[in-house]
Chains A and B, each alone.
Chain A
Amino acid sequence: MSKAEAYQFLNQASFGATEAEAQTVISMRRENWINDQMQKPASLQLPHLQALPPPQFPFQLHADRVDIWFRNALYGEDQLRQRVAFALSEIMVVSQLGALGNLPFAVADYYDMLVQNAFGNYRDLLEEVTLHPAMGVYLSMLGNEKPDPVNNIRPDENYAREVMQLFSIGLVELNIDGSERLDGQGKPIPTYSQGIIEGFAHVYTGWTFAGAPGFRQARPTRFNQVIPMQLYPEFHDPGSKTLLGGEVLPEGQSGEKDLSDALDNIFNHPNVAPFIAIRLIQRLVTSNPSPGYVRRVAEVFNNNGSGVRGDLGAVVKAILLDDEAHPALAMEIDGKLKEPLLRVTQLWKAYDATSNSGRFPLNAAYILFGQGPLQSPSVFNFFSPFYAPPGEIRDSSLVAPELEIATEYQNTLFTNLMLLQCFVLNSLATDRGDDDVFIDFEEEMTVAGNTNALIDMVAGKLLGGEISETLRAEIAGMVERIPETDTAFRAAETIYFVVTSPEYAYQR
């Protein structure tokens, strides 16, 4: 395996390739590296938050949550687990923006739950997501009551709808290869009706914060926001419920049994395998997987080889080891645009980023980069899996989800932030703020007198050694304008041009 191939793999499987990790992958090979990663203990967020002195206002802890997210993403040994959890956090979305603003422990614990289930079974993940108070608050299943016909009150349909549309099966029936099934008239077939949503809405009644004196008296505390919601049986609808495929839950079942049966009903829908396969492939490898790639991964979801359905570890492995994740001859639709957050973490890993305080409390990540950890504007994530920008991508019926947030505005802002990062927020600066994240390019300065050696070093660290002739020539032209003795300026200029380049923004 070449260094460039190791970089391709690590940009799919971690928060950014580095030369050291590339060497590890080259010597271990991909599969052993994955096996090794899956054994690493999980880096978590909640213990960090719980150890901090309570802030004056709970929402202030979100900055600490983002801080520990960055530290785990940059320094965590469990890179693959963290990367898959990040992907899951963009599929089964909750966000600090909104009702969870004052529940930072719940948000951190939700992320930890994704981290811990990253290689587990999807059915367990689905249940933990459903019963997590963060999701309960975010999609209002928490406090959802059985109907009160006298007052025209019926169960809340929010979670019932979104868990199917966004977390599991989607809107239309799929074939195993992810293509849409069509009816006799050539039209897509909806997976569910309003009636089925209402059936599930009745299932999801009677749950709220655990340990409360009563259902309607439940209020969030530091403790109950990080444990699963609890059933209060008298608020659960006892009637029968019609679910997917016409399955009927009989009346009189307990709330726990209803929930378990309903999640089984979703889990066993044939859409789940291709749906989750496409979503995870798009987050990790490519925006436009071939039908064959989707099918191969979906088949592993349906059966991991030992007869187990929903084994996410096996699914992740199938995604990353598939030939289409590292094609011998890349086609123009292979790969994807890197998310801005991943462009940042890759730079920071490669250049040993830190701050005087050692912290990364970038609570404004969603403003600066157009995305931040669990900072989506809605349950629909920062971008749609179906987004197709006007032009050749749309005209070819392709998609490029990440391009939805690569707007003129966000791209300009990102370019300006990288200018600041390279020229101001570096290890040479003397007047940094405590929490200013800075990079260290002092090694580059030792070779900066030699233009080609400088470009080779930066391209080696950020691009796996492969740099286009155009970019090399333009950087060389700029570097040559800077005196040989101004090594810091030369190094900063080179890194700035690479991290703002289209080839760095592209994940091969």
Chain B
Amino acid sequence: MKTLNRRDFLKTSGAAAVFAATPGLAYSQVVGTAGPFDDYRALVCVFLFGGNDSFNMLVPNTPAEYQAYALSRQNLAIPQNELLEITPASVQTPDFGLHPSMGGIDGMGGIRGLFESGDAAFVTNVGPLVEPTTKDQYMNGLVTLPPQLFSHNDQQDQWTSLRGNVPSKTGWAGRMADLIRSGVTEQQMATNASLFGANLFQSADETVAYVMGPGGPIQFEGFSTDPDSILFQQRAAFRRVVEARYGSVYERGFVEVQRRAINAADTVTAAIESAQPINAVFPPSQLGLQLETVARLIAVRDRLQMKRQVFFVAAGGFDSHDNQNDDQPGLLGGISDAISAFHEATVELGVADAVTTFTQSDFGRTLTSNGDGTDHAWGGNQLVVGGAVNGQELYGSFPLLEIGGPEDVGGGRMIPSTSADQYAATLARWFGIADIDLDVVAPNLGNFAQRDLGFMIA
């Protein structure tokens, strides 16, 4: 017999209102307040695994600032005459340049083209922080820092969980899904979908992300929904096996995945097979394939009754300790080509204003060279793309890229001047999270003055 859990009880009994008045426990943390939604919105996180050297992605192009950059980076600096100049709307002069691989075939397309047309923006020198941090505070231990700075997995976790100095079991996309869950009960698929494996970003207390392959979900080939087929019986028998009660936590964890897989495979694969073909041409890369699949899933959003979605896709290889000058064109050109193709697909599907793509990465990299590459650092630049982006602009302050400068804690490791919490909260607000709940999504947001960085159209 189904028993009511505490949450169901709260929802159905009206006790929620009483509960909400209890000091110290936000009602929204328990049941979620957002929605129902009458429009569709999707966030697409492109995670750049390994730590993107984003001070070679976005480079200062004014004389003194370029000079500081070139002096710091030495043999890793992009020659100034090779930069793809971009013109932030606020200054009307080409004060910055992009890596030469980020302009598509003719140097005018790709991310450069999207920036100049107002569909892309950068958030600069952003990274995990617990509270605003100066070099003096850092050097003298006067500030709470995220633990294990410069470590891959720890900084990945900090970007995706935003818990700062507290280890977290949930990610900020997971918490968003929990907050809106009562408003999206019609959805045929989980709010969070990953095309790149299980991840902390989408991990939650109440909702579970659906993990599909880079080309989308696959069917169980031994199963049929035709009652006359023995494969129909096979499916039923298989189902009963995974629905049985097991003695170990490992079997129980395993069957939970199997149950979700069986339940989702039919609906989602049937939907995706009905999708209209997409004309936008994606590059033949892992990231291109994942983003093409996301576009196909967005194309069938109505059939799946989706109102809010967060997709997790990723590219690897950014840990450029070695051969950076050889590898960087492929890495940065790869994200430029795939993300711009994806944006074109959203235009084609008529959802460019409803889909926002953004990057996250472990960390920025040292400005100094280790000979032919760079090491783990901290703050870096992130890219945001979509019709709802206040584009052709840079948000946050851009540091002077000087060794020993005011933001360098050694070797050209930049202290972030904007926190990952602020970055996430700006995206979350656009997604439909109420202001009061932004602190649930981004728990350290209250330590920073600016709750909204302004890069999304309100």
Contact = CB atoms under 8 A, between A and B. Distances in A.
Contacts of B316: 377-378
Given A153-B74, A157-B370, A157-B375, A333 B248 contact: yes
Kindly name the residue among A158, A409, A420, A503 whose own CB sees the greatest number of chain B CB atoms within 10 A.
Answer: A409
Contacts of B233: 477-478, 481
Kindly name the residue among A388, A402, A470 whose own CB sees the greatest number of chain B CB atoms within 10 A.
Answer: A470
B230 interface: yes
B49 interface: yes
B261 A390 contact: no
A496 to B, nearest CB: 7
B220 A337 contact: no
B33 to A, nearest CB: 22
Contacts of A156: 321-322, 370-371, 373, 375
A188 to B, nearest CB: 8
A408 B264 contact: yes
Interface string A315-341: 000000000000000101111110000
Interface stretch (B107-115, B147-155, B272-280, B445-453): B147-155
Contact of A506 (B150, B203, B250): B250
Contacts, number: 211
B240 interface: yes
Interface residues of B, number: 78
A152 B220 contact: no
Contacts of B147: 188, 190
A17 to B, nearest CB: 18
A506 B247 CA distance: 10
Nearest to A162: B152
B373 A332 contact: no
Interface in A371-388: 377-378, 380, 384, 387-388
Contacts of B211: 407-409
A408 B151 contact: no
B241 A471 contact: yes
Interface string B323-342: 10000000000000000000
A144 B197 contact: no
Nearest to B205: A390
A287 B254 CA distance: 14
Nearest to A423: B222
Interface in B210-229: 210-213, 217-222
A470 B244 contact: yes
- Interface magnitude class on chain A: 35 or more
A252 B149 CA distance: 31
B16 interface: no
B92 to A, nearest CB: 33
A207 to B, nearest CB: 13
Contacts of A503: 246, 251
Nearest to A337: B250
Interface in B34-64: 49-50
Given A190-B148, A411-B254, 19 more contacts: A139-B321, A144-B370, A157-B375, A287-B250, A335-B250, A378-B152, A378-B316, A389-B256, A390-B208, A392-B249, A400-B253, A403-B254, A404-B198, A409-B211, A409-B212, A413-B218, A416-B222, A497-B238, A502-B255
Interface of A: 98-99, 139-140, 143-145, 148, 151-158, 161, 165, 171, 188, 190, 194, 287, 330, 332-337, 377-378, 380, 384, 387-394, 396, 398, 400, 402-409, 411-413, 415-416, 419-420, 468, 470-471, 474-475, 477-478, 481-482, 496-497, 500-503, 505-506
